[in-house]
Amino acid sequence: MENMVKTKKQGLLIVISGPSGCGKDSIIKELLKIRKNIWVSISCTSREARGNEKDGIDYYFLSKSKFENEIKKDEFLEYAEYSGNYYGTPKKYIKEHLEKGEDVILIIEIQGALQIKEKLDETVFIFIMPPTMNELKRRLINRKTDSLDKIEKRFKRAYEEINEIPKYNYVVVNDDLDKAIKKVDAILEAEKCRVDRIEEVYLDSKEEKIHEALLDDVKAFDNSKIEIK
């Protein structure tokens, strides 16, 4: 039998933020194995491609003038400038995937997340936290991808980011990767069940007849004959 509750086809827009080293990428990588109907957004940037980076896979690479032209046309959900280069989330691809019913994940900085919050009310905002700052520092050092100076900057930035937690809907502490994945998965499942995602409640003719029969039974029932002891 067809489900009585019809939910909106449009997918969820999910923003995930957190300090560098908190494990965002690891959580999302495993989440994609559990939830198949998810697309991870690809950002645009005005910087040059590095190493083996490919256009349309790692980033959409635009010239600085092209990026600035897209800003003027309001083609980005959010954008920011870092170290002389632009980074932004293109509206076009997000809209296409959401309308197909796919959930879309954006892994973005807090600055960009707050821009989106001002524009789109239905977005789900999740902040990933390290269990402790000492653990975060250990993870940053063990990655061996940054200089000590850069690690120090990331660490200081983490304190600033954590102060923005009240602006998010959910916080997940990544002290155990498997548990953190399950928590994020549970958040998405709960969001799918929100009442405001219901498009309509449908009763077919058989269900209507059952409802009418039950009402008739109630009307015919004489509770005056019930003896209370």
- Local mean pLDDT, 10-residue blocks, the chain (229 residues): 70 93 92 93 92 91 96 94 88 93 93 90 93 87 78 83 92 96 96 82 60 60 54
CA–CA separation, 19 and 13 (whole Å): 20
Tell me if the domain spanning 42-100 has CATH number 3.30.63.10. Answer: yes
The pLDDT score that the predictor gives to residue 98 is 94
**In the prediction, which pLDDT does 152 show?**
82
Residue 120 to residues 30, 50, 113, 116, 207: CA-CA distances in angstroms? 27, 32, 10, 6, 37
For residue 28, the model assigns a pLDDT of 95
Secondary structure class of 23 (helix, strand, coil): coil
The answer to whether the predicted template modeling score (pTM) of the entire model surpasses 0.75 is: yes
3-state secondary structure of 127: strand
Q: How many CB atoms lie within 10 A of CB 110?
A: 22
Per-residue pLDDT at 136:
85
Give the pLDDT of residue 141: 84
At 195 the pLDDT is 87
The residues of the chain that CATH labels 3.30.63.10 are 42-100
The CATH fold assigned to 5-37+101-223 is Rossmann fold (3.40.50)
Q: Where in the chain is the domain with CATH 3.40.50.300?
A: 5-37+101-223
